[in-house]
Amino acid sequence: LCVFSSLQLVSLLLIGIAAWGIGFGLISSFRVVGVVIAVGVFLFFIALVGLIGAVKHHQVLLFFYMIILLLVFIVQFSVSCACLALNEEQQSELLEVGWSNTNSARTDIERNLNCCGFRVFYPNETCAADCLRTLHCRPCAPIMEEYSGMVLRFVGGIGLFFSFTEILGVWLTYRYRNQKDPRANPSAFI
């Protein structure tokens, strides 16, 4: 049951962090928040399926829980390893692609980090930062690169930790699924 609790904890954390980010105005992209909340709700329902399967000793629910949890493990482990393996040059390229492809994220970054432009600030371009009034804005790339390595290591480490709890859940589900149900034939266990 502790594995189901850890999956529920992860799902509730995802939903809570997304709600916190939108509530405090840190994120204005509803697509990003929507995806994070959808993943959180999906993980919560998967944990619920596993919990019901364990309580009822339902073989089919436990099988599907085990398969889906294995797939979640593979995706989460891969993303965590990718976060930990990115070097500074790859991080910089990733930031530049994200900067040039999303207007809402650009606005959020400029407003929250008080910077304008990616590598160079041009006073005639639009910017959401407060520093535009004084025309002494720093470009956003150095500030984002300073934080990106730390954030990627943190996210990769947390993801790696929870991916190992998920593989433990797959193993425990497999073991529990193959046990005999004591309610089916109680005299067999006497």
Pairwise CA distance, residues 159 & 38, whole Å: 17
State the helix-helix crossing angle for 2-23 and 30-56, rounded to 10 degrees.
160
Residue at 122 is within a domain:
no
Torsion over CA of 102, 106, 112 and 117, rounded to 10 degrees?
160
Can you list the positions of beta strands (E) in the chain? none
Assign 188 a pLDDT band (cuts: 50, 70, 90).
very low
Pairwise CA distance, residues 141 & 185, whole Å: 66
Residue at 39 is within a domain:
yes
Q: Which domain holds residue 35?
A: 1-56
Cα-based distances in Å from 135 to 86, 107, 121, 138, 144: 34, 17, 9, 9, 20
Condensed to tens digits (0 to 9), the pLDDT of residues 129-155 reads: 777 777 677 888 888 888 888 888 888
Number of independent structural domains in the chain: 1
Residue at 23 is within a domain:
yes
Residue at 7 is within a domain:
yes
Assign 187 a pLDDT band (cuts: 50, 70, 90).
low
Kindly report the pTM of this predicted structure: 0.70
The average pLDDT across 108-127 equals: 77
Residue-level pLDDT at 2: 53
Residue at 2 is within a domain:
yes
Residue at 159 is within a domain:
no
Indicate the average pLDDT of the chain.
77
Residue at 77 is within a domain:
no
Residue at 18 is within a domain:
yes
Condensed to tens digits (0 to 9), the pLDDT of residues 43-59 reads: 888 888 888 888 887 88
Assign 181 a pLDDT band (cuts: 50, 70, 90).
low
